[in-house]
Structure 1
Amino acid sequence: MKKLILTILFLNSIIGFSQDKEEVLIKGIVLSEVNGKPLENAYISYKSRYRYSMTNEKGEFEYRYKIRERDSLETIELTALGYENLDTIIRVDKTKEYVFEFVMKPRFGLNREKALADIKNGEINILESSGIAPVFYKSDSKFAKRYNVNFVEYGCEAIAEESLYEYNRTVFEYLDKKYGKKWRKKIRKDIVGLNEENE
């Protein structure tokens, strides 16, 4: 019986102690501006703590920020491959819950609207991202001349695949309207978005 009473007292002291600890709950979702879908594996850094959380497959994250005596403001920075960094500042000097919906912009503004603007300006670009060493074939220059397009290679620049897909898909729609679908048989098959278009 004594052991049971001591155990209950010990548990109560732990629960009481943990309730005395104030914290700021920071949670939310991170979305892509390109397609409105959740971004998985985006990093959310809490700069003064050198800590971070990461989004799950639904783009959700959560972090419990234990308040310290001198805490006042905290800078939160979001990073995701192929997207511009985003940051915000929050107060962390008292218990609070923050629920965010962050929308991240793609690097270089690559999306459907950018493709439409480029087409309107007579710049018909097909985007590629093949890594450190750009890959060009002789057939690329023939295709470019025949269909009045430019192949733009980003090399090792971090570009979100969904950005390349949305941009290229818009250009493919334009080429279909202008030339029918015959151009699809002549273009190289490793262009982002082309396989998805053909399925």
Structure 2
Amino acid sequence: MKKNLNISKTLLKLTLILVCGISYGQTQITGKVISGISGETPISDIYVQELITKQPLIMADSLGNFRIEYLEPNKKYIVEISVFGYGKQKFDVQTKREINNVTFELKADCEYNVERAEAEWKNGKANLLLVGSIAPIANTSYDNRFEKKFGIKYFDFGCEPPIEECLKEYNERIFELMDKKYGMKWREKVRSDVEYLN
């Protein structure tokens, strides 16, 4: 009985040594994903995968934070980040022994931005951008009167909008220009599905 107890203690010590050794030999990458457009967390879902070890796809939290564990220190890894509108972007990360905190900035070209909003406003061709579904909602006669009165058009992307941050940037600038020209009254008459109208 005493011999079995000694064997059990020895096995326990050996297991602890192995676990500590394995843990000591591992590191992790903790990251935060931000938009190169706004400097903030992208509005759409963020998917992350480490491509060298082929770890399962993970999803970042609502603040853009994620963690990839069980990596070897002093090794190069490839982190692939996928966000709607930004496509898939790859980043090389060299790990160290300690936790590796990295900010991943996604690059994107905005077709719709502040400059475009101002140019279209100046040319009398500004839009209020909408994101519908497969079948966009048609304008009612009320919507047509709104467009005519305020000199602006509703534009529905259907189910394939541009990058959310771009759409937000464009619409928010149009809102400012409309507030400046018409005051706040137009906000009471605008369609409720105009994106980012607070």
Both proteins in one fold, TM over 0.5: yes
With normalisation by structure 1, the TM-score equals 0.73
Instruction: Choose which of 152, 155, 163 in structure 1 pairs with 2:155.
Output: 152
User: How many angstroms does 1:125 deviate by?
Assistant: 1.4
Other structure's SS at 1:126 match: strand
Note closer, same or farther for the CA distance 1:6–1:104 as it changes in structure 2 (3 Å cut): closer
> Structure 1 unaligned runs (5+)?
none
After alignment, is 117-126 or 133-142 more displaced?
117-126
For residue 38 of structure 1, report the CA deviation from its aligned partner.
Answer: 2.9
**What's the counterpart of residue 60 of structure 1?**
65
Alpha-carbon separation, structure 2, partners of 1:4 and 1:171? 72
| Contact residue 43 and residue 53 of structure 1 kept, 8 A | yes
Offset at 1:17?
4.2
Which letter does structure 1 place at the counterpart of 2:181?
K
Give yes or no for contact 1:83–1:159 (8 Å, CA) kept in 2: no
Distance 1:119 1:62, change over 3 A: same
1:47 equivalent to 2:51? Answer: yes
Q: Percent identity?
A: 32
Q: Which residue of 1 aligns with 2:125?
A: 123
Match of 1:4 among 9, 17, 20: 9
Q: Does 1:75 align with 2:78?
A: yes
Per-residue CA shift, 1:115-150, capped at 9, x if unaligned? Answer: 334434543111000111111223333322332212
Q: Deviations over 1:68-123 (max 9, x none)?
A: xxxx754322112344443223457x867543212335674444454334434543
1:15 lines up with 2:20 in the alignment: yes
The answer to whether the Cα contact below 8 Å between 2:59 and 2:66 also exists between their aligned partners in 1 is yes
Q: In the aligned structure 2, how far is the partner of 1:158 from the partner of 1:96?
A: 41
Q: Which residue of 1 is the match for residue 102 of structure 2?
A: 100
SS of 2:180 mapped into structure 1:
helix
Verify: 1:182 aligned to 2:185, yes or no.
yes
Task: In structure 2, give the amino acid aligned to 1:186.
Answer: K
Structure 2 spans left out of the alignment, 5+ residues: none
Secondary structure at the residue paired with 1:77? strand
TM-score in terms of structure 2 length: 0.74
Number of residue equivalences:
190
Q: Contact 1:161–1:192 at 8 Å: present in 2 too?
A: no
Across the aligned residues of Structure 1 and Structure 2, the Cα RMSD in angstroms comes to 3.3
